Amino acid sequence: FLYKNFGKLSLEDRALRTFRRALGFAQVIKKDLLPLLINAHDSKIIDATVKILVNLTIPVECLLPIDVMSKSDAGRHTIFELNQLLISGKEAFVDSRSTKAIVDYMKRVLDKEGKLSENECESLNNCLLLLRNILHIPESRMLSPGGAVLCSKQNQILWNLFTQSIDKVLIELMTCSQKAYWGVTMVQLIALMYKDQHVGTLQKLLNLWFEASLSESSEDNESNTSPPDQGSGDSSPMLTSDPTSDSSDTGSSGKTSSSESDSTKQHMTRISSHMESNKINAKNTSEGQRKNQSNSNSTRKGNSGKSSSKKHSDVESGISSLHSQEMTALKITSHGHHHCRNRQSEISGNPKKELPSASEMSDCGYGTQMENPESISTSSNEDEGPHSKRATKPIHQKPHNMQKVRYNAKANVLVQDKKEWRRKKLVKRSRTTSMNMKALVHHTPTDEDISNLLKEFTVDFLLKGYGCLVQELHHQLLSNKQNFQIDTSHFFWLVTYFLKFAAQLELELDHIRPVLSFEVVSYLTFEGVNLCEQLETTALQQGNDLKPCLRRMHLVVTAIREFVQAVDTYKKITHLSREDREHLLELQMKIGATEDLKCLFILLIQQYNPHIQNKQYLQDLIVTNHILLLFLDSVAKLPEYKGNTNLMEHIKQFATMEIMKQYGLLLEDFQNNGEFINDCVFTMMHHVGGDLQQTSILFQPTILKAFSQIWETDFEICDDWSDLIEYVIHKFVNTPRVTPLSSQPSPMSIEKKIPLPILKDCKNTETEWSKDKSDNLYWYYAQSSKSADPVGRVMELFRENGVVVTRTGLFK
């Protein structure tokens, strides 16, 4: 009967899907299939039932052309009924018995000795596909009569799965020798588990988890003569995530004695209190951050009359190959607000003087890099927003407080002790089983509960399965032996989303060695070029959906960013072994000698199209290029480096009108970019106008408009950037305009007009304007730029000093 219905589903009408709609109308999933799945003991029946459920829960967009079908009434009705089938199916799977039947079946298959048969591997993959389809089904958040948000079906299903030890099953599948059968499905399922989780939330929770471990260690130091009680209240907040705990859910469902029931009730009470205290701590932390941020903003506004705001983007909250929402990458923002050192403007003294090179002015740019302890710290930082990134800054950025920093040996020892304790905690965690959630089987989870749940799973995943999963997916992408096309966005997402957690936790390099490899960064570079070509060809054909290609391109850029930042973080860790340091050194040498990676960003920035690509992508592109150049400069200074990399020769390729136009587009939003993003833009412009002396390339409307707005609004920026803006505006005012060829008058009118002199150098203006007169023009213009008629005001100032000039003379 089951195989007969499965055959009918495979042969149904592809346009109307009548048989599937009939099954949905009869509520076959809830009334027939799930009761059969829950009560069946024969593996063949379970396998056949899972196959039918997988087919019935396929997303609508995979069954029908939505755009075409939605144009007719019959098509819209078909789409509605198929969506109702999916929604009712998800509602049925809220029953914990349905997911328990799937998880228990997977456990039984994995517990068998010896190598799994091909049918068993296919059956395990079908179970993962079913869970993936169920989690992918969309839902709307419902409100209770009192106005409170009810528990979502997604949260309840995730909670049920983890109480049934799905985490242990997933990690066992990741490390299995036959993981090639389900590797791609595994990534899709994990991406859907993290779909609504912002990376900043998990980073905060991981810091709280570490702080809890420090409090445990201090208590253990006070009294460590007796072994810890299994039921002690020293476990970390939320779930029993104590690495020394060996009580984990084995999936057995036998009868419990009264003593076990009492202990379960006590355990539920303890965990509930931990959950409340954890929520209070998180709330106090967020309130403290809001207060600090408001105080910082008010201070800045009091000093300069304006404030630079930071955007919060929901980029890296997980992806699925089945949904078509465009991914945007997390913004990199700076750790606080910094000023540059004060120095006299070298332009104001002599307007004719050429702008000194970036290195002469202040080590500005990629030549030097400030050691930023925050970039490798794992402690909770109250000044950091939820979207702060490990962003290296050029040395020209100095903190507000210029007081001398005194060395505190005690504080330094305390930091080292904290890092050592954290390292030991992670080592213990990697040797123990997964978390225990048996006490919370019937709990109604909130969003905070799911975040804490995934925080625990993130630690176990990084310690036990992350490297294996990335290595397997990378191997499948390169071997290309699959019968279907693998969506590369899953691989990019794995690198983008989880590498930052690995660096935050400072995991042992062995856990992520397959990820931090030259093969991975080479593949990312190749895919970057390949996707750029795909976008060019796809955009030429009207009607093609560009969103998947755009999403992959964005993820490639963010994956390279996280890769480079992770390598930069790990090379600063002190507890690495000699083998790990040699691996990192070799990796740095290979990246430094790779020309394709550097040139990739020239290509991507030059090919940026604001009509089809968003500003967030451009921002991540320019920021990642900045971070990469800082990294390459540090590699070139290593004594072991034998290459002949000339970074300034590479930067010359950015000195084009097309590329600087893209930088100008990003600078248009300078008030909302944040300090670090603006620094990335100004640094490259400083190289172009200073080191390369190609100031005329910056004479573009978007750049000049942004410069004038920064100048007029007294926007708080580094002194180096103020000098750059001052110099470019002065140079632009004093450089004569040449009539473009496209707008030249006809030959008849040329004879009636006096041709404008073509001056190739600003120094030629001294034949008509003396040096003092040019200096006065510059300062008069600076004083009059905010007036209604700047040119008329400049003429008045000249007349007050006994010099008569005309408007035509000023413009010449």
Residues 623 and 522 both lie in one domain: yes
Count of domains observed in the chain: 4
Round to whole Å and give the CA distance between 368 and 353. 25
> What is the per-residue pLDDT for 799?
75
φ, ψ (nearest 5 deg) of residue 114:
85, -175
Round to whole Å and give the CA distance between 141 and 19. 30
Task: Band the pLDDT of 575: cuts 50, 70, 90.
Answer: confident
DSSP 182: T
DSSP 388: -
Would you tell me how many other CB atoms lie within 10 Å of the CB of residue 60? 19
Q: What is the three-state SS of 188-223?
A: HHHHHHCCCCCHHHHHHHHHHHHHHHHHHHHHHHHC
Residues 325 and 340 both lie in one domain: no
Residues 440 and 554 both lie in one domain: yes
Final residue before a domain boundary, out of 673, 708, 735: 735
> What is the per-residue pLDDT for 644?
79
Single-letter residue type at 75: G
φ, ψ (nearest 5 deg) of residue 388:
-65, 150
Residues 731 and 761 both lie in one domain: no
Final residue before a domain boundary, out of 641, 675, 694: 641
Round to whole Å and give the CA distance between 327 and 555. 8
Helix (H) or strand (E) holding 712: helix 701-712
Strand partners, 398: 339
Would you tell me how many other CB atoms lie within 10 Å of the CB of residue 352? 16
SS3 240: strand
Strand partners, 240: 436
Residues 601 and 650 both lie in one domain: no
Residues 798 and 700 both lie in one domain: no
SS3 339: strand
294: in domain: no
295: in domain: no
Residues 86 and 10 both lie in one domain: yes
Residue of higher predicted confidence among 653 and 389: 653
CA neighbor of 780 nearest in space, from 764, 768, 791, 765: 791
Strand partners, 339: 398
791: in domain: yes
Residues in the chain: 812
Round to whole Å and give the CA distance between 587 and 580. 11
Residues 387 and 362 both lie in one domain: no
CA neighbor of 242 nearest in space, from 458, 552, 456: 456
Q: What are the helix (H) ranges across 465-546?
A: 466-479, 489-505, 509-512, 518-540
Q: Which of 10-24, 181-195, 464-478 has the lowest mean pLDDT?
A: 10-24
Round to whole Å and give the CA distance between 601 and 628. 10
257 burial (CB, 10 Å; 0-12 / 13-18 / 19+) is exposed
> What is the per-residue pLDDT for 426?
67
Cα 471–475–480 angle (5° rounding)? Answer: 155
φ, ψ (nearest 5 deg) of residue 436:
-105, 125
Residues 626 and 495 both lie in one domain: yes
DSSP 230: T
> What is the per-residue pLDDT for 9?
79
**Tokens 């409340």, residue located:** 276
Dihedral of alpha carbons 193, 195, 198, 199, sign: positive
Dihedral of alpha carbons 563, 565, 566, 572, sign: positive
Is 186 in contact with 173 (CB distance < 8 Å)? yes
Q: How far is CA 391 from the centre of its chain?
A: 13
φ, ψ (nearest 5 deg) of residue 339:
-115, 160
Average pLDDT, the chain: 73
1: in domain: yes
Round to whole Å and give the CA distance between 665 and 706. 9
> What is the per-residue pLDDT for 8?
80
Round to whole Å and give the CA distance between 435 and 127. 22
283: in domain: no
746: in domain: no
- For 505-528, what is the mean pLDDT? 94
Residue 55 structure tokens: 């087919």
264: in domain: no
- For 546-553, what is the mean pLDDT? 94
Task: Band the pLDDT of 213: cuts 50, 70, 90.
Answer: low
Q: What is the pTM of this model?
A: 0.69
- For 300-322, what is the mean pLDDT? 39
Single-letter residue type at 659: I
**Tokens 């985490």, residue located:** 167
φ, ψ (nearest 5 deg) of residue 143:
-105, 140
Round to whole Å and give the CA distance between 355 and 729. 12
Task: Band the pLDDT of 789: cuts 50, 70, 90.
Answer: confident
> What is the per-residue pLDDT for 135?
96
Alpha-carbon distances of 756 from 737, 738, 768, 805, 808, rounded to whole Å: 9, 8, 13, 18, 11
Round to whole Å and give the CA distance between 311 and 330. 10
CA neighbor of 183 nearest in space, from 478, 491, 430: 491
Residue of higher predicted confidence among 774 and 582: 582
591: in domain: yes
Residues 352 and 308 both lie in one domain: no
DSSP 30: I
Round to whole Å and give the CA distance between 517 and 607. 28
Residue 297 structure tokens: 């903003």
Q: Which of 129-133, 557-561, 685-689, 753-757 has the lowest mean pLDDT?
A: 753-757
Residues 546 and 535 both lie in one domain: yes
CA neighbor of 83 nearest in space, from 71, 70, 95, 102: 70
Strand partners, 436: 240
DSSP 398: B
Residues 320 and 364 both lie in one domain: no
Q: What is the DSSP string of 245-307?
A: ------S------HHHHHHHHHHHHHHHHHHHHHHHHHHHHHHHHHHHHHHHHHHHHHHHS--
> What is the per-residue pLDDT for 779?
67
Is 98 in contact with 92 (CB distance < 8 Å)? yes
CA neighbor of 530 nearest in space, from 436, 603, 470: 603
Tell me the residue range of the domain where 365 lies.
336-371+646-735
Q: What is the three-state SS of 117-165?
A: CHHHHHHHHHHHHHHHHHHHCCCCCCECCCCCECCCHHHHHHHHHHHCC
Strand partners, 149: 143
Give yes or no for residue 149 having a pLDDT over 90.
Answer: no
Is 733 in contact with 791 (CB distance < 8 Å)? no
Round to whole Å and give the CA distance between 426 and 420. 10
Alpha-carbon distances of 315 from 197, 290, 404, 626, rounded to whole Å: 10, 22, 39, 20
Round to whole Å and give the CA distance between 173 and 128. 10
**pLDDT tens digits for 579-631?**
999 999 999 999 999 999 999 999 999 999 999 999 999 999 999 999 999 99
Question: Quick one: angle between helices 118-136 and 153-163, nearest 10?
Answer: 150
Task: Band the pLDDT of 129: cuts 50, 70, 90.
Answer: very high
**pLDDT tens digits for 331-381?**
333 333 333 333 333 333 333 334 333 333 333 333 333 333 333 233 333
Q: Which residues contact 772 (CB under 8 A, 6 or more apart)?
A: none
Final residue before a domain boundary, out of 602, 620, 641: 641
